[in-house]
Structure 1
Amino acid sequence: MSKQSKPAALTSPTTPAYVPPPELVAAAEASLGGASEHERSDSARAYMAYGRATAHRSAVTGNELPGFTLCPTLVRAGWLEVVRELRPDAEVERARAGLVAVANSMNQEIAEAQQKLDDLNQEIATLSQQRDDMRGVVVRGINVREGKPLFDEVVVSLAIATGSEAMADQHGIVVVGHREEADGLPHTYLLQDLSLQAPDPSAWAKVAVDAVHRWAHCAPPQKAYVLAEENTGGAMVANIIHAVDPSVTVKTARILATSELASSVDDSEECHIDPFLMGISQISAAAKDLAKAQQDGQGEVAALVTTTAKALHERVKALALPASER
């Protein structure tokens, strides 16, 4: 009896190895070739993150996973697509960059607008200061002149005290504005009284210099200046003023002494004061009285006040001239 042969063991058919289509491989190679260094790095990081979850083994075969650079082309291209999918779209990125550029431009415009606002505020502050400086011009009838400065000239008159008397540190400083009004007559306005008590000469010099600069915008160029008494330290006053600010113009005028004033009046005549014999300090004091008289006076009184005011103005102009021209 013949021995029966054992049946052959059943074996499963061998699965042929997958061979990707050439066009798919070519597309993957092109994708990898166009990847940036940053994209390649992120693809490798994503692959390593996947490996941490599988203990660096294939979840299908259990075989140990190779390094990223040793992976087939399709595997590396696949992880590259994952990275690109999770990244912002290029169009979104361009839009974001555009928004950043717009924001930067707006910030620049805001900074420029703020600078213009700061400049405007500075101009307003300057105008406000000038307005405050002009609060002394309260005489009736003064009006802004179209296209012309407020005054034809501005004079800072100094009556500097000298000697060792008790009042030797009392200095008279007044700011006067001259202009011709619509009536054809010259008018003099007392703008500011800056008289002070100061033993240090630099104190009154700084006040006078500051007054010239403060009121210079109310007169034509070079028409705002200091006027000092020639026979009461005129040269000394000019030197002290120029020590504070050499750019300030200082003019001097000779003032008649009391004895000279007295000798010019005939005892047989009615005693009066000729405005043309008045000095700076007398003119400064009379200007206030005349301003009030012009406001209150009527008829012949008003006419007399007007004539006196004109004479005072002419006297101040005469005082501003050098002795050789008077």
Structure 2
Amino acid sequence: MVENNLKSFRRMTKTASVTNVEKDRFSIRCEICFQPFHIRKRLPKLLPCEHNFCEQCIFSLCCHQQYYLLDSINCPTCRTEFNTSAALAATTNYRLCQLLETVQQQQVGTTNDANITVIHVSDNNCSTRNRSARLHSWQRNPRSLSNPKRCQLMQCTDCSRKMNEKKCRKEVRFCEGCFNTKKDDDDCLRVICLKCCVDRHNGHKLVTLSELENEHQKLINDLRSLQQSIQKTNKWIEISLKVLTEDSMISATDCVALCKAKQNLRNECEADMRFALSVLENAGTTPLSPTALQRMRQHQYHNSARLHKLLHFIEVSVEIFVEA
């Protein structure tokens, strides 16, 4: 059944009309997590074997393989083997994205209350998002997010209009289609007023400030849990390394080199985590953009995978010497 669905899926990306895509949009999903692809939140990535999976699942699969000291993965569908670097560099299936985007634009205004849809309003000036009026989170010193006075400092990226103090939470929007790109500054949140939503971002995917704050807080909670997991991993590394050194299973030179590598990796991971949490939990930091949150999350989970890889290497070394 999976194979038949994938064949139908690939034919759809090449020849299907928009009507057919709209009809089967809920069946176009990642075959690992079974979540539907999305042009902003869940991009379809095309492996060399031409099977599509979401970027998050490919990243998790590669981290799992690296934990076991493996440099390759097998396609979950056809079992074709690829190098992990090739999998991580998988290209986006832009043909499918174009079809999905067309369907989403037809349905805008009916699936999200934050969207503003105005008939016959031109959308010809999104390039003004690069103006100098930007909300830079690390160059401001406002109070906490709950303090409405900090809304006075918020300006529309397009027209530079300051947000009304009492209505800023209702009026502020973030345009995913225009601002959620990797070429934008990671520490810069660009917001727009309702007037510019109508005049320049009609039909785009718009996100409220509350939704951005929820995603921001979710990452904080996830990193706190990951921090505890990393601490447990470090303890197991210490225990396994102690067994390896006390029983003289390796030479003194190798022992010193391994201990140094362990300490350097531990210091790096802990410093990265402290810095990330200090930025996220800073009372003066506005919610980061979805792209910035995603990159920060991937970096921390990559550090965790490196620690697990070191732990696995030490445990395998102990088993080899015990069996010998």
Calculate the TM-score normalised by the size of structure 2: 0.19
Q: Which has the higher contact order (CA 8 A, sep 6+)?
A: 2
Q: Choose between structure 1 and 2: higher strand proportion.
A: 1
Q: Choose between structure 1 and 2: higher helix proportion.
A: 2
